[in-house]
Amino acid sequence: MATDDGAAHREPQLLDMLSLAGWRKPVLETFALLAVIAVLQRWVFGAAEIPGLPHPYWLPVLLASCQYGVSGGMIAAVAASLVYWFGLSPPSAAQDFYTYVGAVAIHPAAWLATALVLGGLRNLHIHQTAELADALAVCRRRANDLSGGLERATAEISALERRIAVDMSSVAALSRSFSSIDMSSRRAAAASYGELFRVGTGAATLTIYLKDSDGYVAVWTVEDSAARSPRSMEPLPSTTIEALTAENAGYGGTGDVGEGESGSRHYVVHASPSDIGSEPLAVIVCERDPSQDVKQFRRRADELGRALATLLQACPHSTPGVRP
């Protein structure tokens, strides 16, 4: 019969209680105890029975019944009966046969009844103990499953909270960057757009070059997340931009044009207008950290580059020859 706790229980059967599986141990223990009792009877007390006390062969029957159940008690009762019968004196000629048999059978019958009663109780106890052990094993297994599920759920919740915190901080940084964009001129827009590009792509080192009469002039630069002055940087001619673009294409469109000492790679982003064949209004040279996904980095960088081109087209032209 299967219960709700998943353990299968059944009532003890008579054949199970009378099974002689593992009979060697109770047989050896019973005969050893009978031998000790016989030696004590003959050599110490000098009598088969002690007046006023039960027959000493009760002891192995009681012990075997309480330890092994019905099967052990039956083995002890049979062994004690055999030893008892071998030690009996033959009946006298004046004694009635049926009276003699009745007197001889009293102890074996009592031992057999004791084995059945006490052994049956012991079998019920063994069966209940096995049921409780099975139920305990099921409860422990379920407890382990629940604790494992709780640990996994806690880990997932912690990871989700960290991800939400990171996302919220990124959203807050993006909103601050959007609010700081200056649309008064192309130079101001390009310089104020740098922080937005850095937060959106995760690049720690980048430089924004704005198209000018002298070529592409650096208007905003950051190195290892620290802002640097772009005044000391030389303008890049269009040929250099074309060379960098060709070098990007030479790497199979991955955007990798060289690997620095830190293991990061350069990537060139064009802020090109919608007109086909037009030169970029600005160029962003950035470095990708090796831990970042290449495809995701390139997609975000290109999208932010197109957004910069849209902003620059909406801004008035800067005064020629004037640098920030």
Using one digit for the tens of pLDDT, what is the confidence trace for 8-32? 555 555 555 555 556 678 888 888 8
Q: What does pTM read for this prediction? A: 0.46
Contact 60, 37 (CB under 8 A): yes
Closest-CA residue to 181 (of 220, 226, 207): 220
Residue 264: per-residue pLDDT: 41
Per-residue pLDDT tens digits for 80-119: 888 888 777 777 767 677 777 777 788 888 888 888 888 8
Coil vs helix vs strand at 204 = coil
**pLDDT (mean) for 205-224:** 87
Q: Is residue 47 domain-shared with residue 112, that is, in the same domain?
A: yes
The residues, ordered by sequence, that sit 6+ positions from 229 with a Cβ below 8 Å of its Cβ are 221
Res. 213 pLDDT band, cuts 50 70 90: confident
Q: Is residue 207 domain-shared with residue 100, that is, in the same domain?
A: no
Residue 149: per-residue pLDDT: 92
Where does a domain end: 146, 174, 193?
146
**pLDDT (mean) for 293-306:** 86
Q: Which of 3-17, 36-50, 133-147, 298-312 has the lowest mean pLDDT?
A: 3-17
The residues, ordered by sequence, that sit 6+ positions from 150 with a Cβ below 8 Å of its Cβ are none
Assigned domain for 113 exists: yes
Q: Which domain holds residue 40?
A: 14-146
317 has pLDDT over 80 = no
Residue 260: per-residue pLDDT: 40
Assigned domain for 198 exists: yes
Assigned domain for 165 exists: no
163 has pLDDT over 80 = no
The string of DSSP letters for 215-243 reads EEEEEEEEETTEEE-STTSPPBPHHHHHH
On average, the pLDDT of the chain sits at 77
Res. 145 pLDDT band, cuts 50 70 90: very high
Q: Is residue 123 domain-shared with residue 193, that is, in the same domain?
A: no
Name residue 212's beta-bridge partners.
215
**pLDDT (mean) for 212-219:** 84
Could you tell me the strand order of the sheet in which 206-212 lies?
226-228, 215-223, 206-212, 282-288, 265-271
Res. 181 pLDDT band, cuts 50 70 90: confident
Each as own residue / partner, the long-range contacts of residues 59-66 (CB below 8 Å, 24 or more positions apart, any chain) are: 59/33, 60/29, 60/30, 60/33, 60/34, 61/111, 61/114, 61/115, 62/114, 62/118, 63/33, 64/26, 64/29, 64/30, 64/115, 65/114, 65/115, 65/118, 65/119, 65/122, 66/118, 66/122
Apex 140 CA angle, 135 and 142, nearest 5: 95
**pLDDT (mean) for 299-319:** 83
Res. 169 pLDDT band, cuts 50 70 90: low
Residue 16: per-residue pLDDT: 57
Q: Is residue 140 domain-shared with residue 192, that is, in the same domain?
A: no
Contact 216, 210 (CB under 8 A): yes
- Lookup result for tokens 């580059």: 305
Q: Which of 3-12, 158-167, 173-182, 250-259 has the lowest mean pLDDT?
A: 250-259
Coil vs helix vs strand at 207 = strand
Tokens of 19: 């099974």
**pLDDT (mean) for 264-289:** 78
Residue 139: per-residue pLDDT: 94
The total of structural domains in the chain comes to: 2
Assigned domain for 135 exists: yes
Tell me the percentage of the chain whose pLDDT exceeds 90: 9
Assigned domain for 202 exists: yes
Assigned domain for 197 exists: yes
The amino acid sitting at 273 is P
Q: Is residue 142 domain-shared with residue 187, that is, in the same domain?
A: no
Q: Is residue 238 domain-shared with residue 134, that is, in the same domain?
A: no
Assigned domain for 50 exists: yes
Res. 168 pLDDT band, cuts 50 70 90: low
Distance CA(261)–CA(238), nearest Å, equals 27
Per-residue pLDDT tens digits for 219-273: 999 888 788 888 888 888 878 777 777 766 555 444 443 444 333 467 888 888 7
Coil vs helix vs strand at 267 = strand
